[in-house]
Amino acid sequence: MTYREQIAQHIDRFPKMPPLCRSLLGYLEDPDVDFKTIRDLVQYDPGLTANVLKLANSVYFGPAQEISSLQAALVRLGTRRIFELVLSLTVSGRLVTELPGYGLAGRDLLRHSIWTAVAAQELARILQMKNVDTVFTVGLLHDLGLLLLDPFIAEERERFTHIFEDRRLPFDQAEKEVLGMDHAEAGAKILELWQLGPEIVAGVRWHHEPDGAAEFQDLIYLIHLADMLSLSEGIGTGIYGLQFNVSAEPVRALGLKKEHLEYTASKTLDKMRELENILT
Ligand SMILES: [Fe+2]
Ligand SMILES: [Fe+2]
């Protein structure tokens, strides 16, 4: 069996979307949604309720006034945000795991994912972009595929080491060459199975090939930049340094300046630390 076929089997066996997220997904497109119904779904889980309130009041989501009731938090955040928030709270636990293949310690992937999500959101804010609602979620999920590919990377350590030391190939290309699939495609396939919608799937799928996407270009550019910025700050680089091609197109197309990137990098660390405490 080829690696690609083995990875496909792992994708099928990957845990399904958490049931609460699945229930919430059904309400996303409903403009007349009753928040009491959503509250009843969420409050069933006291830990989650506490975290929804914490997150709703955090610097990141930060409304001006402190929110103390769950329903008020839900109304303030809206269904899309609630869904993203519940998804973030449930998926983030899975990101806390050691990945020996990539050489990432227990919390490295979570930190890298949060850093990327926060930075992408910050860049969207600086650029006053309105059409990128899912940017935080995509940032958080963008490297989900690492969880799947890690055992195969570990198995093929010698070939990967040779590729990086002698040929200096970008990491996603090395994954494609050795395993027949890179982590971006693997992650996107999981999210497709979770029926998360084409925008989130595309954001994850193209985060290392931002010029290859046919749709959702702005979102993909933001994630690519935030991800590269995160690696350049040394957040989640692992043993191979996770060397990727950096596309020049996103910076040009979005009209970003060097100061924007520096400002974002300087803002992101504190927010990452705050969210890290809430999300796990
Ligand atoms: Fe990646
Ligand atoms: Fe990444």
SS (H, E, C) the chain: CCHHHHHHHHHHHCCCCCHHHHHHHCCCCCCCCCHHHHHHHHHCCHHHHHHHHHHHCCCCCCCCCCCCCHHHHHHHHHHHHHHHHHHHHHHHHHHCCCECCCCECCCHHHHHHHHHHHHHHHHHHHCCCCCCCCHHHHHHHCCCHHHHHHHHHHHCHHHHHHHHHHHCCCHHHHHHHHHCCCHHHHHHHHHHHCCCCHHHHHHHHCCCCCCCCCCCHHHHHHHHHHHHHHHHCCCCCCCCCCCCCCCCHHHHHHCCCHHHHHHHHHHHHHHHHHHHHHHC
In angstroms, what is the span from residue 87 Cα to ligand 2's centroid? 18
Q: Which ligand is nearest to the CA of 227?
A: 2
Q: Look at residue 27 and tell me if it is in a domain.
A: no
Ligand nearest to the CA of 207: 1
Please tell me the distance between residue 133's alpha carbon and the centre of ligand 2 in angstroms: 19
pLDDT in tens, 191-212: 999 888 899 999 999 999 998 8
Q: How far is the centre of ligand 2, averaged over its atoms, from the C-alpha of 116 (Å)?
A: 7
The CA 46 to ligand 2 mean position distance, Å, reads 32
Residue 37 lies in a domain: no
20 CA → ligand 1 middle, Å: 27
In the reported structure, the alpha carbon of residue 69 is separated from the centroid of ligand 2 by a whole-number distance in angstroms of: 35
Q: How far is the CA of 139 from the centre of ligand 1 (A)?
A: 10
Residue 129 pLDDT level (bands cut at 50, 70, 90): confident
Tokens of 266: 């300087």
Q: What confidence category does residue 61 fall into, taking pLDDT thresholds of 50, 70 and 90?
A: low
Tokens standing for residue 252: 């040009």
pLDDT of residue 42: 84
Task: Give distance in angstroms: CA of 236 to centre of ligand 2.
Answer: 8
Residue 233 within a domain: yes
Q: What is the pLDDT of residue 165?
A: 84
Cα of 30 from ligand 1 centre, angstroms: 33
Residue 195 neighbours by CB under 8 Å, 6+ apart: 17, 25
Domain assignment present for residue 103? The answer is: yes
Distance 137 CA to ligand 1 centre (A): 14
Q: What is the mean pLDDT of the chain?
A: 87
**Residue 70, domain member (yes or no):** no
Range with the lowest mean pLDDT among 85-89, 98-102, 126-130? 85-89
Is residue 62 domain-resident?
A: no
Query: What's the CA-to-centroid distance between 111 and ligand 2, angstroms?
Result: 10
Better-scored residue on pLDDT, 241 or 260:
260
Lowest mean pLDDT of 31-45, 63-77, 109-123, 201-215, name the range: 63-77
Q: How many domains does the chain divide into?
A: 1
Model pTM score: 0.89
Q: Which domain holds residue 244?
A: 3-15+96-279
- CATH number of the domain bearing residue 251: 1.10.3210.10
pLDDT bucket at 7, cuts 50 / 70 / 90: very high
101-136 burial, b for 16+ CB within 10 Å, e for fewer? bbbbeebbbbbbbbbbbbbbbbbbebbebeebbbbb
Taking the centre of ligand 2 as the mean of its atom positions, its distance from the CA of residue 11, in whole angstroms, is: 19
Give pairs for 164-170: CB < 8 Å, separation 24+.
Answer: 164/240, 164/241, 164/243, 168/243, 170/208, 170/243, 170/244, 170/245
Return the closest-CA partner of residue 184 out of 219, 216, 212, 145: 145
CA 27 to ligand 1 center in whole angstroms: 30
CB 14 within 8 A of CB 190: yes
- Would the pLDDT of 226 be above 90? yes
81 located within any domain: no
pLDDT at residue 73, rounded to an integer: 81
Question: pLDDT-based confidence at 273, cuts 50/70/90?
Answer: confident
Rank 21-25, 28-32, 195-199 by mean pLDDT and report only the highest: 195-199
Residue scoring higher pLDDT (33 or 16):
16
Ligand nearest to the CA of 231: 2
Inside any domain, residue 87: no
